[in-house]
């Protein structure tokens, strides 16, 4: 049967700011013992006992960080949380709470904001974090989201961007380039849709990379895995801007250089095939695509047996003396300097 009903659209004005906040937050329960007071007072109250607190904030702006033409609001809510949890995990900490602030124009009906919060609620549930506050305001156009994530860790468990030493191994979780290739597919479908609004995109063959773009997962499991394996990274960062710029952050903060081997970079077969289809260099995509939200860390060489053969972890290179610089060693064994934009294949050493 054909459904021809317009989706329900309740205007935000009808609810008012406080009605909206209540409506959006009433179903959130507190799960963490460290959350003493959540939403509903002038401030949240948290107690981390003897642990150190980690805090991270990110802002997402419509038209800059996301395009509602192809990003479902539920996915956006989920991803907004993931982006922030990823930073907490990159400190080797346990994420415990988030606050969410949103600015929305009145072109959004209540149902749209509800969808966004469904994604937030799912993320909170799956990652065991509490929504403990936020702010709600109007914008003249578009949507702006700011998420703050909090977490806790024992002082000696925390891992910073500094701490990597020459000869440490450089390790990455998961695989790279998927989020960027998913974006290429979605952008292409958007153009097709502009020309023919009746077209139904078939994203099924691209499921993995589209999911990497729309519904990334922060690597909570890697923090747990490292703890389990009794591996204490010497430095760590999450890969939000692409492998090369994150490697350079580690190098700069740790005052070391590095050699990264092109043939070691983990790529999903779908990233390789879509790169062929879009005529893009898969190494370049992995190095500078971004938004993969994997963890990049360094370990002492003696720790190698503990991670050897683990399907979640790939050694992509090793650190060197700072004076040696940061290089990608290509498949044909040439040394290419790593730059923040990726790497410059015309600038071979």
Q: Which residues are near ligand ADP by CB under 6 A?
A: 21, 24-25, 39-42, 100, 102, 131, 133-136
State the minimum distance, in angstroms, from the CB of residue 135 to ligand ADP: 5
Q: Considering the complex, what minimum distance in angstroms separates the CB of residue 135 from Mg ion?
A: 4
Nearest to 263 by CA among 333, 327, 320: 333
Q: Looking at beta carbons only, is 23 or 306 nearer to ligand ADP? A: 23
User: What are residue 109's phi and psi, to 5 degrees?
Assistant: -80, 165
Chosen from Mg ion, ligand ADP, none, partner binding at 182 (C-beta under 5 to 8 Å by type): none
CA distance 206 to 32: 37
Smallest distance, ligand ADP to C-beta of residue 99, A: 6
Smallest distance, Å, CB 4 to Mg ion? 40
Q: How far apart (Å, rounded) are the C-alpha atoms in residues 344 and 337?
A: 7
Residue from the set 22, 111, 135, 263 that interacts with Mg ion by CB under 5 A:
135
Q: Which one of ligand ADP, Mg ion, none is in contact with 77 (Cβ closer than 5 to 8 A by kind)?
A: none
Tell me how far, at minimum, the Cβ of 25 lies from ligand ADP, in Å: 5
Give SS3 for 109.
coil
328 binds, among ligand ADP, Mg ion, none (CB under 5 to 8 A by kind): none
Rounded least distance, CB 131 to ligand ADP, Å? 6
From residue 219, how far is each of 50, 85, 165, 212, 313 by CA, in Å? 25, 8, 24, 13, 12
Q: Which residues contact 302 (CB under 8 A, 6 or more apart)?
A: none
C-alpha dist (Å) from residue 270 to 77, 186, 219, 230:
26, 15, 21, 33
Q: Which is nearer to ligand ADP, 108 or 343 (CB)?
A: 108
133 contacts which partner out of ligand ADP, Mg ion, none, CB within 5 to 8 A by kind?
ligand ADP
Name the residue nearer to Mg ion (CB basis): 135 or 263: 135
CA angle 314, 241, 326 (to 5 degrees): 65
Smallest CA-to-CA distance from 222 within 301, 287, 120, 293 is with: 293
Q: How far apart are CA 277 and CA 206, in angstroms?
A: 12
Parallel/antiparallel/unpaired status of strands 294-299 and 235-239:
antiparallel
62 DSSP 8-state letter: B
Instruction: Give the one entry of Mg ion, ligand ADP, none that residue 178 binds, where binding means its C-beta sits below a cut-off of 5 to 8 angstroms depending on kind.
Output: none
As measured in angstroms, the least distance from the Cβ of 102 to ligand ADP is: 5
40 binds, among ligand ADP, Mg ion, none (CB under 5 to 8 A by kind): ligand ADP
| Minimum distance from residue 102 beta carbon to Mg ion (Å) | 11
Beta carbons within 10 angstroms of residue 271's beta carbon: 26
Half-sphere exposure of 91 (CA within 13 A, CB side): 21
Binding mask 93-132 for Mg ion (x = CB under 5 A): ----------------------------------------
Of residues 13 and 135, the one with the C-beta less far from Mg ion? 135
Strand partners, 152: 53, 94
Q: Which residue is nearest to Mg ion (CB)?
A: 135
Closest CB to Mg ion among 144 and 329? 144
Contact 276, 181 (CB under 8 A): no
Stretch binding Mg ion (CB under 5 A), from 56-64, 134-142, 176-184, 318-326? 134-142
The footprint of Mg ion (CB under 5 A) covers 135
């Amino acid at each position: 049967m054909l459904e021809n009903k317009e989706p329900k659209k309740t205007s935000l004005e009808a609810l008012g700011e406080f009605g909206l906040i209540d409506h959006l937050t009433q179903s959130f329960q507190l799960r963490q013992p460290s959350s003493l007071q959540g939403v509903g007072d002038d401030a949240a109250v948290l107690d981390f006992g003897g642990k150190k607190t980690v805090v991270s904030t990110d802002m997402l702006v419509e038209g800059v960080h996301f395009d509602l033409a192809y990003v479902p609001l539920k996915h956006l809510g989920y991803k907004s949380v993931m982006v922030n949890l990823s930073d907490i995990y990159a400190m080797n900490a346990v994420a415990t709470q988030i606050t969410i602030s949103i600015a929305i124009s009145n072109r959004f009906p209540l149902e749209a904001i509800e969808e966004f919060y469904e994604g937030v609620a799912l993320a909170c549930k799956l990652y065991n974090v509490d929504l403990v506050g936020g702010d709600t305001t109007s914008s003249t156009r578009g949507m702006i989201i700011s998420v703050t994530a909090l977490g806790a860790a024992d002082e000696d468990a925390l891992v910073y961007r500094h701490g990597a030493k020459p000869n440490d191994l450089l390790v990455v979780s998961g695989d790279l380039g998927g989020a960027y290739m998913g974006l290429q597919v979605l952008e292409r479908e958007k153009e097709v849709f502009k020309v023919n609004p009746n077209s139904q995109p078939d994203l099924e063959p691209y499921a993995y990379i589209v999911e990497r773009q729309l519904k990334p997962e922060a690597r909570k499991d890697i923090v747990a895995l490292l703890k389990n394996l009794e591996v204490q990274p010497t430095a760590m960062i999450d890969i939000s801007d692409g492998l090369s710029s994150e490697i350079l952050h580690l190098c700069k903060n740790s005052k070391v250089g590095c050699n990264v081997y092109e043939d070691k970079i983990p790529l999903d077969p779908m990233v390789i095939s879509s790169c062929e289809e879009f005529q893009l260099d898969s190494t370049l995509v992995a190095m500078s695509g971004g938004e993969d939200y994997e963890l990049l860390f360094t370990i002492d060489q003696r720790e190698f047996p503990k991670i050897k053969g683990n399907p979640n972890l790939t050694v992509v290179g090793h650190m060197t003396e700072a004076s040696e610089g940061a290089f990608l060693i290509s498949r044909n064994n040439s040394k290419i300097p790593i730059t923040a934009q990726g790497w410059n294949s015309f600038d071979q050493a």
